[in-house]
Amino acid sequence: MNNLKKISKFLLIFFIILIFNLIFSPINGDEVWNYGFANNLYQGLIPYKDFNMVLTPFYPFLMSIPFYVFGSNMLIFHITNALLITGCFILLDKDYKDKMWIILLFCFFPINYSFPTYNMFLYVLLCTILFLENNYVKDENIFIHYIIGFILGITFLTKQTVGGCLVLVSLYYIKDFKIILKRFIGFLIPITIFIIYILFNNAWKEFIDLCILGLIDFSGNQQGFSLNLLFYVVMIFIIFKKIKKDKNNITLYYVLAFFSIAIPIVDAYHTAYCFLSFLLIILKDFKKKYFHYHILSTFSIIFLGLLTLNFNKGFPLKNYPNDINHFKYRFINEESYYFTKDISEFLEENASKKIIFLSSNAYYFKIINDLPCTYLDLINRGNWGYNGSEKLLKKVKEAASNKAIFILDPDETIGFKQTDKQALNYVIKNGKKIKSIKLYDIYTFE
């Protein structure tokens, strides 16, 4: 009976995550980019060489694996994500019991952070490392340090900055050289495989440019002082206070290291992942028990979903599932659906011409039309390596001289957005506007 209850509990978590992300939650850029990276790998493209990423590539490689069995589409992508997060909560259940429902709630509040992205996967890896550190290291399991080192290697290959900071915890906290050596050997296994892959595909120069030198340009996305930054600093202050009182608590060190996930962009989105990790500390000390943890969280998540539907202009089943390629079971509201159809029709009419999307939605339109994604489909600042804005502008000028058609959203030139504005402003200033399709303007240089 207890096993049946546990299975039912985790099935509930799985379906909450899956249904909320597929149907209740509006589609977002990070979700599409992460799916796009995985789809690129499935299509045989080489990261850094054929398309640009500023991260080490383990997450898209992992998420692409089910595509070889079931095909590439958003449904499979979201099922894989829901399985990974559910697995994380199976581990959290051992250490936090019913308090894990509070963590689940904050995966969706104040906005949804549980959608498929390498950031959520990093949180899964953090919880896995803490589970092993707190439950198996003391048992002196002969393989445990190799396993922890291996997972630290995977973390490094998911986001090099976060993985590097988590590795520092082992170097600082653990004094036994033999243990450090075991972890280092485990760490080297995935790292060595990655190095061989990069060298074999002759993509090491591009990797260094995008993932190391490009961090200089990426720092320009920082928004300055904000309430998010204040909250971020307060949480760090509290962690340091706790470390001062309990210097032997390895969880504190790992959570502090995980806060590097928000650097250099300490915005609401990245700060929320810091808060999720901060809960791993706070809930450990939270002694008071509430019998209805799971009821509170489940109904809160359902309420948030219904509230989201209101913002999405109506009940999604009105046009769900849709007939959009790769996105059939992903909720897309009616307005976006018809906008997608209009853009796809324009692409079909101009199939013989070179069309470039200078937009944060480029991946979306390329994927649904089965067009290969290239560097020009991700034009966020910091995503083109060192001195990336000038590289991007040069490519745009080359495409313009070859009479390419440019599609862009003029609103992306206004306010704080990650899109590189220099390239957009060049097209707007020097190109000829020939047409508008809702929020998009279309330019040519003929």
Residues 6+ apart with CB under 8 A from 171: 180
Are β-strands 355-358 and 405-408 bridged in parallel, bridged antiparallel, or unpaired?
parallel
Q: Contact, 329 vs 321, CB < 8 A?
A: yes
In this prediction, residues 380-385 reach a mean pLDDT of 87
pLDDT at 280 exceeding the cut of 90: yes
Distance CA 167, CA 155 (A): 9
Distance CA 84, CA 78 (A): 10
* pLDDT at residue 416 in the model: 66
Q: pTM, whole model, 2 decimals?
A: 0.92
Q: Which of 384, 383, 376 is nearest to 356 (CA)?
A: 376
Q: Coil, strand or helix: which one is 255? A: helix
In this prediction, residues 172-195 reach a mean pLDDT of 93
By percentage, how much of the chain surpasses pLDDT 90?
A: 66
Prior bond of 110 cis (ω within 30°):
yes
Q: Contact, 13 vs 93, CB < 8 A?
A: no
Residues 6+ apart with CB under 8 A from 200: none
pLDDT at 202 exceeding the cut of 80: yes
Range scoring the smallest mean pLDDT among 318-327, 366-375, 391-400: 318-327
**What 8-state DSSP symbol labels residue 23?**
I
Q: What number of other Cβ atoms are within 10 A of residue 248's Cβ?
A: 8
**Average pLDDT in the chain:** 89
In this prediction, residues 355-378 reach a mean pLDDT of 94
pLDDT at 220 exceeding the cut of 70: no
Q: At what angle do helices 29-42 and 74-96 cross, to 10 degrees?
A: 110
By percentage, how much of the chain surpasses pLDDT 70?
A: 89
In this prediction, residues 334-344 reach a mean pLDDT of 92
Distance CA 242, CA 235 (A): 11
Which range has highest mean pLDDT (75-89, 317-331, 344-358)? 75-89
